[in-house]
Amino acid sequence: LDLSQKAALREARSIFAWVLLVVMFVGPFIRINGNPLLMFNIPARKFAIFGQMFWPQDLNIFAVIMVIAFIMITLFTAVFGRLWCGWACPQTVLMEMVFRKIEYWIEGDGPKQRALARMPWNAEKIRKKTVKLTIFFALSFIISNWLLMYVIGSDTWIRIVTDNPLNHLKGLTAMIIFTLIFFAIFARFREQACTFICPYGRFQSVMIDENSLVVAYDHVRGENRGKKAHGSQMSERRTVGLGDCVDCNACVAVCPTGIDIRNGIQMECVNCTHCIDACNAVMDKLSLPSGLVRYASLNALKEKRSFRFTSRLAGYCAILTILGGLLVYLLGTHQNVEVSMLRAQGSIYQQQPDGFLSNLFTIKLLNKTNAPVEVRLVLEEQSGEIQVIGTQLVAEGQSITKAAAFVKLPADAIRGGKIPLHISVYQEDRKIQTVKTQFIGPGGSL
Ligand code: SF4
Ligand code: SF4
């Protein structure tokens, strides 16, 4: 069989996968407003999503984004089944488009690879296996480093790799461990990682129902299956109770996880579409319509109807709408510069020589932007003043500055032990925040 005749899906997947590979490898170097496109710096608890930086202080926004992402994945899976696995999963894309292509180039196609595996160890086998595994190891090392860039950012990565490796022994050890894991997956375990390790793969059975789009065998049209007798016409098969499946096993032979799609949906199916292309090629040879194996929901196959918007999908959409609204609100009120003020631990009021009472505060100025910022603190309501100790309140880009300040109020204006304070934070002439705290006067407890 010339499976390339009807390999439309394989070609479409190839084009899409190459686009994804380019995005994956260029991604760490893309910057928006000076921030990484994507960065998940878990150790430093700093994240970037489409150039927007999130600090530990933005955990609420990040949590909402994660919940939205989870529900979108659930909704996507409920509608499109394992489409992600076959088309966009990095493991599938790298396996199919990079590692398997290299394997074909070195060891030849499937039959040649099987022949090589059966061959006793000789010079040719040692040479081919060594070359293949060396390239696989090198690629695994490159992939580990690229993923590291998505964690620590490309600038930090470049700084580390251009430094003396002895200064980064811990990091280097971690890199080698990750390289070995990737090497084991791409060289040995392959699709087994999808079925045994991938958490998304294991949740499939919960998320998919009979209305989800899956790679499916049209058993109504295909059964009863039976070999095509030499010289017989396909039109004669119906009269003897046979369907369009000629039981050629082409769909099974091309399946990377070794399953028979004709046995129904199976957890091992990674939606790679190889069986669709293989069966379409058979149907083409037999001058029958393609699509005996195709993307379809089980209900669509049974009842011959297309997509149905179920109440479950409506529920997911409703939750997504609510969370989307919440996210818009949080992003709308999100601050790139934040000031927090706490009264110095254990301190009470101080008597100043000019008839004022003062409280000592510690100040944290968080700057999430890339440029330095300077802020001013103004007591809006009270007839007092704020004296920042030392320099101005300035924070370099992507940093936190700590400072201290006296808040001074006239002693005769203080009634009661605790006085609420509203302190406005100005960046240039723009008020960006109001900090609420308390002033402790005589009689006030800590
Ligand atoms: S049954 Fe096998 S070949 Fe077909 S889509 Fe699933 S994993 Fe791929
Ligand atoms: S490739 Fe098509 S015709 Fe051949 S066994 Fe599979 S489903 Fe049947």
| DSSP string of 275-339, one letter each residue | HHHHHHHHHHHTT--S-SEEEE-HHHHHH-------HHHHHHHHHHHHHHHHHHHHHHT--SEEE
Ligand 1 atom closest to 251 (CA): 3
Q: Which residue type is seen at 400?
A: I
Strands (DSSP E) contained in 55-108 are none
Report the DSSP pairing between strands 46-49 and 385-388: unpaired
pLDDT of residue 446: 54
Q: Which pTM does this prediction carry?
A: 0.72
Q: How many whole angstroms from 197 Cα to the centroid of ligand 1?
A: 18
Q: Whose CA is nearest to atom 4 of ligand 1?
A: 275
Atom of ligand 1 nearest to the CA of 255: 3
With pLDDT > 90 as the criterion, what percentage of the chain qualifies? 38
Q: How far is the CA of 216 from the centre of ligand 2 (A)?
A: 12
Question: What is the whole-number distance in angstroms between the Cα of residue 99 and the centre of ligand 1?
Answer: 18
Tokens of 260: 């028979």
**421, 438 contact by CB (below 8 A):** yes
- Residue owning the nearest CA to atom 6 of ligand 2: 251
Which atom of ligand 1 is nearest to 274's Cα? 3
pLDDT in tens, 370-411: 888 999 999 886 678 888 887 688 888 888 899 999 999 888
Substitution candidate for ligand 2 out of 6, 237, 251 with most atoms within 8 A of CB? 251
Give the C-alpha separation, 138 to 5, whole Å: 34
What's the pLDDT score for residue 445?
A: 62
Nearest CA to ligand 2 atom 3: 245
Report the pocket of ligand 2 as residue ranges, CB < 6 Å: 217, 222, 225, 245-251, 262, 278-279, 282, 292-293
Tell me the pLDDT band of 5, cut-offs 50, 70 and 90.
Answer: very low
Tell me which of 40-49, 103-112, 234-243, 319-328 is least confident. Answer: 234-243
pLDDT at 194 over 90: no
What does the pLDDT average to over 190-218?
82
- What percent of the chain is predicted at pLDDT more than 70? 95
Q: What is the pLDDT of residue 158?
A: 93
C-alpha of residue 84 to centroid of ligand 1, in Å: 13
Residue nearest to atom 6 of ligand 1 (CA): 269
Is 246 a residue whose pLDDT tops 60? Answer: yes
- Is the pLDDT reported for residue 2 higher than 60? no
- The residues with which 393 forms a beta bridge, in sequence order, are 375
Q: State in Å: Cα 245 to ligand 2 middle.
A: 5
Q: What is the pLDDT of residue 3?
A: 40
In short, whether 270's Cβ falls inside 6 Å of ligand 1 is yes
- CB neighbours of 4 closer than 8 A, spacing ≥ 6? 281
Distance CA 276, CA 284 (A): 12
State the average pLDDT over residues 196-225: 83
In the chain, the amino acid numbered 394 is: V
Q: Verify whether ligand 1 is closer than 6 Å to residue 257 (CB atom).
A: yes
Rounded to an integer, the average pLDDT of 29-55 is 86
**Ligand 1 atom at minimum distance from 258 CA:** 2
| Mutation test residue for ligand 2: of 6, 218, 249, the one with most atoms within 8 Å of CB | 249
Whether residue 98 is predicted with pLDDT greater than 80 in this model: the reply is yes
3-class secondary structure, 440: strand
Ligand 1 pocket, residue 53 CB under 6 Å: no
The model's pLDDT over 11-29, given as tens digits with 9 standing for 90+, comes to: 888 899 999 999 999 999 9
| Nearest ligand, measured from the Cα of 256 | 1
Chain segment 326-338, per-residue pLDDT in tens: 999 988 888 889 9
* Ligand 2 atom 2: residue of nearest CA: 279
User: How much is the pLDDT for 4?
Assistant: 42
Cβ-based neighbour number of residue 43 at 10 Å: 7
CB 262, CB 244: distance < 8 Å: no
Question: Tell me, what's the pLDDT at 175?
Answer: 94
Residue of 272, 277, 280, 295 best suited for mutating to test ligand 1, as the one with most atoms within 8 Å of CB = 272
Give the pLDDT band of residue 354 (cuts 50, 70, 90): confident
271 Cβ closer than 6 Å to some ligand 1 atom: yes
The rounded Å distance from CA 422 to ligand 1 centre is 64
Per the document, the length of the chain is: 446
Computed over every residue of the chain, the mean pLDDT equals 86
Q: For the chain, first and last CA: distance in Å?
A: 84
Ligand 1 within 6 A of 275 CB?
yes
| Residue whose CA lies nearest to ligand 1 atom number 5 | 271
Nearest-CA residue for atom 7 of ligand 2:
245
Mutate to test the pocket of ligand 2, among 219, 248, 283 (most ligand atoms within 8 A of CB): 248
The angle, 0 to 180 degrees and rounded to 10, between the axes of the packed helices 123-152 and 100-107 is: 160
pLDDT confidence tier of residue 305, bands split at 50, 70 and 90: low
Long-range contacts of 125-134 (CB under 8 A, 24+ apart): 131/106, 132/102, 132/103, 132/106, 132/107, 133/187
Which of 40 and 348 is assigned the larger pLDDT?
40
Task: Please choose from 208, 274, 279 the residue to mutate so as to test ligand 1's pocket, defined by most ligand atoms within 8 A of CB.
Answer: 274
Q: Determine contact, residues 432/425, Cβ cutoff 8 Å.
A: yes
